[in-house]
Structure 1
């Protein structure tokens, strides 16, 4: 009976992982997966694990291309592969958030603009800025091997990709924990995630994030890991404060923006650690 119960729990958790994978990526999932709004809300516990998988796959593409081409070319191709994996899900949220916050005066105006499928000037500029900065930061990370535990620039970039993709999804999960859901659109991206995630959901996501912190500590240095951790805590506080002020909570778009901006925060923190070494 106990063994049967254990198998059922494993199957339930695996179902939640498949839901998280299907929600955040274009990777095919089994047709037998059981879907419900409640299940998808609980699947938030595995968002960071999905981020780890995305980071590992983009890192693998980067490694493969870098073996026969230059680092800049490998970076661009790995970033493009990341878009294919996620369907530009988070980038779309970033653009919509920038358009809403930049073009709206009231909370309702901002939410209305964010629901518009068209991209505006603020969204275009935000995408250009974030993607360009992401490329430049990853390029610079490849040249800091003198102050790290690993001397290979390719390995350093790979670890940065894996860690940033994981930690940024952990942070998005924490944003959900700190704020209420505010969009009333039935078609909103995070409608199934409108409920607060549970303490267990948060703990599993945070534990997965600490795996990424351990990777940074092992491949860069303990100082790099500590600075990344502090930077993300500060970013979380600032992001929660911004979202409260702008719209009073979170939407699917703002979760995407949180993921993109916290990914940049990881890269910036890794580079800034060199100042103290």
Structure 2
């Protein structure tokens, strides 16, 4: 895509608060400014930073759970903590996407199913497998590796929406679900900050095992790319639910990749 987009203000604390407000249920000060049309695109620059915070919260729960229970229950509690902090936002997108792709026979019908708040068989199975795969992969890791993997995973996974919105067009226009950020993809300089954040968040896991980090990033990227290609084929582009599904697929692939190298 072309970078001939109008200049945007320098990233600020307000945009970080927008990212926290959008991605989590954590209390943040209310904004006293009128939202700009591309506020969400600019907030995406800070998504990985918010991901670091989510990963730290999940890691703290894992440490506490490990001191009280076995690794299996501790891992499940750590995954549950991330779900609670985010209000199951990404999980909801995953379920809606699988219901849509599994039950729709046309683009219009898939988008209609995606807007339906009811949970179907495909979405329910996807949610169950999602939580099971993440928790089981996490439980296979030594505690010190699991803590590093959680921070890196949550940061890197939340970089995926910016990549998808840059590569695909918005598909929701067909059903009237127009969103303002669809016309304002992230710029290259914004990607630099995103990549720097992910790199810094990945340093602890890099020190633990460079191979595990590469396997995690490779596994996450592979599943995220698979979901992206699937969305392009079945919808012709992305929606907000698809972005949530891509994020979840990255988390699954990342943790499976790390577990493949470091499983105890």
Q: Which TM bucket (shorter chain)?
A: 0.7 to 0.9
1:123 paired with 2:111, answer no
Is residue 45–residue 194 contact of structure 2 (8 Å, CA) maintained in 1? yes
Task: Judge which range, 70-79 or 245-254, deviates more.
Answer: 70-79
Once the two structures are superposed, residues 71-95 of structure 1 have per-residue CA deviations (whole angstroms, 9 ceiling, x without a partner) of 2222222222222211100000000
Aligned residue in 1 for 2:171: 182
SS in 1 for 2:119: coil
Output aligned runs, 1:222-241, within 5 Å.
Answer: 222-241=210-229
Once the two structures are superposed, residues 176-217 of structure 1 have per-residue CA deviations (whole angstroms, 9 ceiling, x without a partner) of 2211111136767xx353231222222222221222332221
Find the aligned partners of 1:130 and 1:47 in 2 and give their Cα distance: 21
Aligned residue in 2 for 1:30: 29
> Shift of the alpha carbon at 1:232?
3.8
Is residue 175–residue 250 contact of structure 1 (8 Å, CA) maintained in 2? yes
Classify 1:207/1:252 alpha carbon distance in 2 versus 1 (closer, same or farther; 3 Å): same
Is residue 95–residue 123 contact of structure 1 (8 Å, CA) maintained in 2? yes
Gaps of 5+ in 1: 1-8, 142-152
Find the aligned partners of 2:192 and 2:224 in 1 and give their Cα distance: 16
Find the aligned partners of 1:112 and 1:176 in 2 and give their Cα distance: 21
> Shift of the alpha carbon at 1:122?
0.5
Aligned residues: 252
Classify 1:159/1:37 alpha carbon distance in 2 versus 1 (closer, same or farther; 3 Å): same
Is residue 231–residue 265 contact of structure 1 (8 Å, CA) maintained in 2? yes
Aligned residue in 2 for 1:112: 112
Once the two structures are superposed, residues 109-157 of structure 1 have per-residue CA deviations (whole angstroms, 9 ceiling, x without a partner) of 111100101111110010011111111111112xxxxxxxxxxx22221
Structure 2-normalised TM-score?
0.88
1:244 paired with 2:232, answer yes
Task: Judge which range, 41-50 or 29-38, deviates more.
Answer: 29-38
Find the aligned partners of 2:126 and 2:23 in 1 and give their Cα distance: 21
Structure 1-normalised TM-score?
0.84
Find the aligned partners of 2:128 and 2:71 in 1 and give their Cα distance: 20
1:75 paired with 2:63, answer no
1:99 paired with 2:99, answer yes
The list of structure 1 runs, each at least 4 consecutive aligned residues, that deviate by more than 4 angstroms after superposition, is 185-188
